[in-house]
Structure formats: C-alpha cells, structure tokens
Chain A
Amino acid sequence: DQQVKQNSPSLSVQEGRISILNCDYTNSMFDYFLWYKKYPAEGPTFLISISSIKDKNEDGRFTVFLNKSAKHLSLHIVPSQPGDSAVYFCAATGAGSYQLTFGKGTKLSVIP
C-alpha cells in the first residue's frame, strides 16, 4: 500500500504560468514533508519542506501548502521556467522514523 501518492504521472505547463503538483498521504503519523526535484541521471535535489505545525512555506518561486485534515500537500511554482522541467518527488517522514517515504513522482514539462 502506497503511503505517499502522487496521482499525476505528468504535467505540462506553459512558461510563465503556475505549476501545481499534488501529493496525498495516508499515514497520519507523518509530520514532516519534503519536495525533491530530479533531473535524469542525477540524484534527487532538495527543494522545499514543511512541518506539520505550518500550513504554508515559501521559498522564492516555490510554495508548499499543507492541508492536514485532507492529508494533502501541494507544490506551487510561479512563474514556471523551462529549467523547472524535471521529475518532482513528494516525501514524508514522522513518528520517530528517519526514513523518507516517497511518492512515485510527477514529471513536469515547462513549455517555452
């Protein structure tokens, strides 16, 4: 059973517009969430994180929103740039565990 789900395998967005990537989780013990970006043949690169005590965290063009009651988080990228084209992974941890549990990823394509 997948504890972290990214239901959209791919997403295409026009350059300059907003990209919204979604992630759902089932384990209510998760209390820390991260987004990683991955280019082909490279390891995942940390992008942004959020603790369960917050509902929003912003870093430049990237904002993560957390809705604990819905067990849902989303990553907003505004404005989207062609260099943002990559696979984005949502990850979660909690309950005293140091393991990250990842979703399957969403491939974002930003079209110039």
Chain B
Amino acid sequence: GAGVSQTPSNKVTEKGKYVELRCDPISGHTALYWYRQSLGQGPEFLIYFQGTGAADDSGLPNDRFFAVRPEGSVSTLKIQRTERGDSAVYLCASSEVAGGQQETQYFGPGTRLLVL
C-alpha cells in the first residue's frame, strides 16, 4: 500500500516568511509524528498526534512552530517568521496504533526546507 507522503519535497523561502509543510500518513494509522533532521544529525522529535489532538508537543523549538491535524489524517506543520536555522529536512512518520509505545514508526521522504 501507499506509504507516508510529504509535500513539497523541497521548499526554498526567504528569512521571515511563513511556510506550511504537509504530511499524508499511511491510511488507517492513528498516530502521526513530526521530526526535524539537521545536517549530520539524526532526526529529532518535534510533535506527536494521537488522532486530532497533539498529545506531545514538547519537541517544538519555539512558538514559531505549530502543527495541526484537524480530521485525524493529514497534518500540516506551520513555521512562522522563518529563520536560517530552520533549514533542515522535516520528516513525518505514522504508526498503526494510537501511540503504542512499541509500534513501529514509518517515515515519509521528508521536506527539505532551505531558508535564505
């Protein structure tokens, strides 16, 4: 079946602009996660959704970052007033059970964000 999809695959923006990154999880997966991977690092957790609600947003770096999942499927990560340090690959993952700790997380291809 179809895996996790993310759009756009690449996004170039200017410092100070607003961006939206979209994630379409695997059909039927109730848990959705956002991670950020900077150059030379492993992915770092940002936020986790169980259904429509953000169950854990402790990884969001500051209040410029916000994510929604209004219908419990597609999610959008929103970044306001982008800064050059926001440049990274933003990865989305989903898992079958609503946040089962030992549920495998399946990742999308990521959105490569470049802030000039």
Contact of A99 among B45, B102, B107 (CB under 8 A): B45
Give B54 Cβ to nearest chain A Cβ, in Å: 12
For chain B, residues 79 to 116, give those with C-beta under 8 angstroms from any C-beta of chain A. Answer: 91, 93, 99, 101-102, 104-110
A104 and B42 contact, CB distance less than 8 A: yes
A98 and B33 contact, CB distance less than 8 A: yes
Residue total for A at the interface (Cβ-Cβ under 8 A)? 26
A4 at the interface (CB under 8 A from B): yes
A36 at the interface (CB under 8 A from B): yes
Give B53 Cβ to nearest chain A Cβ, in Å: 13
Q: CB-CB < 8 A to B41: which residues of A?
A: 104
Q: How would residues 14 to 34 of chain A score, 1 for a CB under 8 Å from any chain B CB and 0 otherwise?
A: 000000000000000000101
Complex alpha-carbon distance, A36 and B37, angstroms:
14
Contact of A46 among B40, B48, B101, B105 (CB under 8 A): B105
B56 and A98 contact, CB distance less than 8 A: yes
Q: CB-CB < 8 A to B43: which residues of A?
A: 44, 89, 100, 102
> Which of B35, B43, B104: most chain A Cβ within 10 A?
B43
By size class, the interface of chain B is 20 to 34
Give the residue name and chain of the B residue nearest to A44 (CB): B107
Complex alpha-carbon distance, A96 and B56, angstroms:
12
Q: CB-CB < 8 A to B58: which residues of A?
A: 99
B4 and A43 contact, CB distance less than 8 A: yes
Give the residue name and chain of the A residue nearest to B98 (CB): A98
Give the residue name and chain of the A residue nearest to B95 (CB): A98
B107 and A43 contact, CB distance less than 8 A: yes
Give the residue name and chain of the A residue nearest to B92 (CB): A43
B16 at the interface (CB under 8 A from A): no
Contact of B110 among A43, A94, A105 (CB under 8 A): A43
A46-B104, A51-B102 known; A41+B109 contact, CB < 8 A? yes
B42 and A105 contact, CB distance less than 8 A: yes
Told that A46-B106, A98-B56 touch, could you supply 11 new A-B pairs with CB distance under 8 A?
Answer: A42-B109, A42-B110, A43-B4, A43-B6, A93-B102, A97-B56, A98-B55, A99-B45, A100-B33, A104-B40, A104-B41
